[in-house]
Structure 1
Amino acid sequence: MPKPCITAITIHQFRNIVSAQLKTAPVNIISGDNGSGKSSLLEALYYLSHLKSFRTSKTQRLIHHDHDHFILNSTISSDKDTHNIGLQRTSSHEQTLKLNGEPTKAQDIAYHLPMQFIDTQCHQYFTGGPEKRRQYLNWGLFHMKHSFLSTWRACTNLLKQRNAALKLRQLNDLDCWDHQWIPLCESIHEMRESYIEELNPIFIRLIKELLNTEYPQVELRYQAGWNSDKPLALLLQERQYKDAEIGYTQLGPHRADLQMFINKRPAQDYLSQGQMKLSAYALKIAQSILQKESIGKSPIFLIDDIQAELDSSKQDRIIQLISELHNQCFYTALAPNKLLQSLNGNMDITQFHVKHGEFLIGSDQHTIQSSPEKPITH
């Protein structure tokens, strides 16, 4: 069995899912018409790990109509033991988190439940703004470098203090904040730079295979958020009056980026949207390979509509690469039979069919019985 592995998930009043208790397998296929609730299951799983939706920032949209809260519970098998994670979120934004029946913190849930999500818009990892790419770096370092989270939080808190001084034009206070902030910026830069050095060869191997084209030079290029060839203290001093005019700090790790280059030019100058999607898959798979090689733990994959805009051979190879990680996967599909063929039928697979938020299991489509609402204390 993959580690970690969700063995059971209970969902109450989330989106169009009123109530469902699902026993899950290492590989899970969720089929159904558009709007049936396929993506809502992935969204519930994602929320359980990340404590946010990949579709909306408005809690009320996640709660089933005529209710004021939703509840998610899961049982997770890890290397040594089993964990129960419970979450309740209300329309008034109150949130309760529990791990094995005890109140817990978001980072503890994220640690026990690492999760990768890939959907039909994944090409935007390269064509969109840098925020998602920074999140990608931070997620990888959170799971591989124990010191990263505390360093990042301290850095973010000090940045807020620095920005507050800039807005008030208290420039004499900047030296005090920079004395504490700059070493944290440099530490984050060093961790990110080292991470990309490890990630790059894995990504390059995957991208060349998936694109089936031999480019003379393919690389991920990390940008620190400032010209790292110069002291950050000097650059900040040179820009302090410009920063004061706009009221925030323009240089630092909060402005970092990660770009794919081909022949020393941005990849989007060369690649189609379909090829950019393949590149995004390579990015996520490479990160998972590195994580497994480094800490022996691979994330759970949530893949929404892998069949969209990818030909059969590319789908097959992506599924094979993910399968080689021996991690748990949840796939949504309009055509599950084709997906089953790609999986070769040699894995422990559970099929769910969704209709109007209700789940049916297996080829004979038995309805999964709904259950009364459960507390999140178990």
Structure 2
Amino acid sequence: MGSLPPSDSPLRVKLVGENPQILLEGEPTLRRGLLDWNVFHVEHQLGRLRADLRRVLAQRNAALRQGGARVSAWNPAFVDLSDQITAKREDFHERWRSQFRSLAEDFAFLDGCDLFFDRGWPKDTGLLDVLERGRSTEIQRGQTLAGAHRADIKISREGSPSRLSRGQAKVAVCLLQLAAERVHRMTGLAPSLWLLDDVDAELDKGTADRLWRVLGEPDAQQLISRLSTEPGGIDEGSTMPDTMFHVEHGTLKP
């Protein structure tokens, strides 16, 4: 299923908050969730497919914990659902990757970086073959070790994980969100609502200015909080009309 027309699109909210580097350094569940959240708005069938996969995966894991005698009965459904989900993820990833690489060109510390997708089992190998070969290990561990539920995305340079500072990781996460927004807009979706919390923190002025310029590209509503009152950054980088409020001792003033 393709995207819904803009008038019927659900409100999408994109957040860049405290410690965004956790997305890049934390558990794969976080990155898989970001991927699937973005895929869902283009391929609405993904929600049902994920629910079906969770159900079949639970049954397959239960069979493994019971010695594996009935695990083969769940393999066809598990493989089929993993293949369907992976196809949708790969299609979105190719477009997402292209937009990310375009945005990253403005930031020297991302030179040579790329956005990679790990589908959850080796490339050029059928999932059923992987499951059959790994059955004894799966029975020993009592869980399914390959499939769409183990997918991941990562920013890498020449195949090795990129080492980014906290500020650089924040920029990378912003660019991931912006790249996904570009893909969504190209499919006809309405603009997202952006929640941006102290984006300037841990960035030098030049990097902050470049980031605000690209953040100002989408014609979307942005709610921005920042601790600094220094000029520059958003004031110079954004072309959108804005209203500024100041909070002092719990009082909000224009």
Deviates more, 1:140-149 or 1:290-299: 290-299
Whether contact under 8 Å (2:215, 2:238) holds in the other structure is no
- Aligned residue runs from structure 1 range 35-50, under 5 A: none
- Which residue does 2:27 correspond to in 1? 129
214 and 243 in structure 1: CA distance in 2 versus 1, 3 angstrom threshold = closer
186 and 354 in structure 1: CA distance in 2 versus 1, 3 angstrom threshold = farther
Q: Which has the higher contact order (CA 8 A, sep 6+)?
A: 1
Q: Distance in 2 between matches of 1:79 and 1:248?
A: 41
Find the partner of 2:191 among 270, 276, 298.
Answer: 298
Task: Please say if 1:150 is aligned against 2:57.
Answer: no
- Aligned residue runs from structure 1 range 76-225, under 5 A: 80=7, 112-169=10-67, 171-209=68-106, 211-212=107-108, 215=111, 217-225=112-120
Identity %: 24
Whether contact under 8 Å (2:191, 2:220) holds in the other structure is yes
Q: Distance in 2 between matches of 1:326 and 1:333?
A: 21
Normalising by structure 1, report the TM-score.
Answer: 0.61
**Deviation for aligned residue 1:237:** 1.3
Which secondary structure state, in structure 1, belongs to the residue aligned with residue 245 of structure 2? strand
Question: Is the radius of gyration larger for structure 1 or structure 2?
Answer: 1
What are the superposed Cα offsets for residues 136-175 of structure 1, whole Å, 9 maximum, x if unpaired? 1101111111211111111111111111111222x23212
Q: Distance in 2 between matches of 1:206 and 1:182?
A: 35
Normalising by structure 2, report the TM-score.
Answer: 0.88
Task: Please say if 1:341 is aligned against 2:235.
Answer: yes
244 and 214 in structure 1: CA distance in 2 versus 1, 3 angstrom threshold = closer
Whether contact under 8 Å (1:302, 1:330) holds in the other structure is yes
Q: What residue ranges of structure 1 are gaps of 5+ in the alignment? A: 1-77, 82-110, 363-378
Q: Distance in 2 between matches of 1:196 and 1:80?
A: 25
- Which residue does 1:253 correspond to in 2? 148
- Between Structure 1 and Structure 2, which shows a larger proportion of strand residues? 1
Which stretches of structure 1, 4 residues or longer, exceed 6 Å deviation after superposition?
A: none
Which secondary structure state, in structure 1, belongs to the residue aligned with residue 41 of structure 2? helix
Q: What residue ranges of structure 2 are gaps of 5+ in the alignment? A: none
Whether contact under 8 Å (2:216, 2:239) holds in the other structure is no
187 and 125 in structure 1: CA distance in 2 versus 1, 3 angstrom threshold = same
Whether contact under 8 Å (2:210, 2:237) holds in the other structure is no
Task: Please say if 1:238 is aligned against 2:130.
Answer: no
Whether contact under 8 Å (2:120, 2:149) holds in the other structure is yes
**Deviation for aligned residue 1:346:** 5.1
Aligned-residue RMSD, C-alpha? 2.3
Which secondary structure state, in structure 2, belongs to the residue aligned with residue 144 of structure 1? coil
The one-letter amino acid of 2:252's match is L
- Aligned residue runs from structure 1 range 256-335, under 5 A: 256-268=151-163, 271-335=164-228
The alignment of Structure 1 onto Structure 2 pairs a total of residues equal to: 249
360 and 183 in structure 1: CA distance in 2 versus 1, 3 angstrom threshold = same
Q: Distance in 2 between matches of 1:293 and 1:192?
A: 17
Task: Please say if 1:227 is aligned against 2:122.
Answer: yes
